[in-house]
Structure 1
Amino acid sequence: MTDAREPSDEVWMPLRLSTQARIGLGRAGDSLPSRRVLEFQTAHATARDAVHEPLDVGHLEARISALGVPQALVVTSQASSRSEYLRRPDLGRRPADVGHLPATGADIAIVLADGLSPRALTDHGPGLFKALVDTLATDFTVGPPVIATQARVALGDHIGPALGAQTVIVVIGERPGLSVANSLGIYLTHRPREGCTDADRNCVSNIHPPDGLGYEAAAAVAAELVAGAHRLGRSGVALKDTSRERVTDGRARTIDP
């Protein structure tokens, strides 16, 4: 029987359809209903698995190659294992070696990084990469894709200059949460170099269709930011997203210093 002090499930159901937040969970005595407790434990386990699951580089390479682009290049950070990567964020920001990367001189370098959710890159990386290339290639040259493992965002500050790219776009698995464990983020840095901070970057987050931002919408925002960065000569807090009038089914944000 529904507690007289609580709204019925019929009241909460329409609200649950519009958010992934846990609302109107109900009560069983002094605790939550068993179903809600199990749902929470499942979400927590899913988030932990997403962080620790290693990226299958060969599988991702094959899927990227199937898009008809140049063969992907592979870079790893100085973190030697997933465990060390999680314990030493600083090692994830520095490459083990970029000497094998060719100086392409392309306008844009796209880095596919595992980040804190390799699962997100597996699920959404190829689709987002295709959308980015299709959108950017009309106005810019795009270098060969780079797959980065045990990677933090700042790893792109080394990869971009090695490729001779003006702008680096790091597509990276975002930190898993209890509602989403496979979300991607785009971090864009114009004129990347060692020592860049978040104030030098722009971010498009929450990319995980169908519940989050879609691939084409995210690519459209990124393309506007790239064009703005090339006009302005820099990215980051000085560069504002001007695509909102055309992209209404997602969100973009600029990282503050």
Structure 2
Amino acid sequence: MQLDFGLGMTIPLTLASEWLFIEAVQGKLEIEIQETGERVKLGRKSLYKSKKGTFGRLLITGSGQVELEHGTGDFTPPVEGQQLAVQSMPDVTIESLPPVTIKSLPQVNIANQPAVEIAPNQQITVSQIPAINVANGQQIGVNALPNVELAAGQQVGVTALPAVTIAEKQYVRIESMPVQKIAANQFVGIRRSKVLATEEVSVFPHDVPINEERQKLILKAPSTNTAPVLVGAFSLDAGERLEIESVAAMTLMGSAGDTIQLMEW
């Protein structure tokens, strides 16, 4: 028979047996015979025989896992290393165990846990995550996320976001957005781009340098020009205008006496 004890736990047990043999135990096993009030402590490989027939109801107190044998008639404990063979056992009644109340659990320090390495082509699949409550003043930091796929009918709700900083040459692509509702007293602010520079060029060739902040460049050839102005291999005739969305450098070529107007932002 095997019994598992919590720390300081007592298990009531009724045995119609005349002897009790402790095969394995951590420390000592305390046994109280309720009928006689007798108390004994037994260690590993201990044999105890009843002085008045069968034991009846016992209160057994121990710790950890306990292995014991019991029966009637004569019994000789086996020599260390031999097997114990029990031909028959009387009826055993185990009464209900007392309730165990856990008032507190120790904190878990994740910082001290060993690193977990995922081999190439391996992955971890999480099919379900329980609700997570973040207390006031607490926060969750996520440094990187893999691709997230949402099944049909699923959605992600975000009630608040911290400040988002996009590094140089990074971008965020939004393919679709749900309907946006603006509550009373809320507003959406749109910052307009400012004009970076305007000028009129009459000396050619004219080099337009690289401008990483440029969003758009507008070139206009006045109607008074007598010849086309070349933007690279592109010809801009008198009265025409050209809008270029590029930060690249370019060279303008024109005829003496002609001009071209530039505006960039």
Please give the range of the TM-score, normalised by the shorter of the 2 chains: under 0.3
Task: Determine which structure has greater relative contact order: mean sequence separation of CA pairs < 8 Å that are 6+ residues apart, divided by chain length.
Answer: 1
The two structures have a TM-score, normalised by structure 1, of 0.19
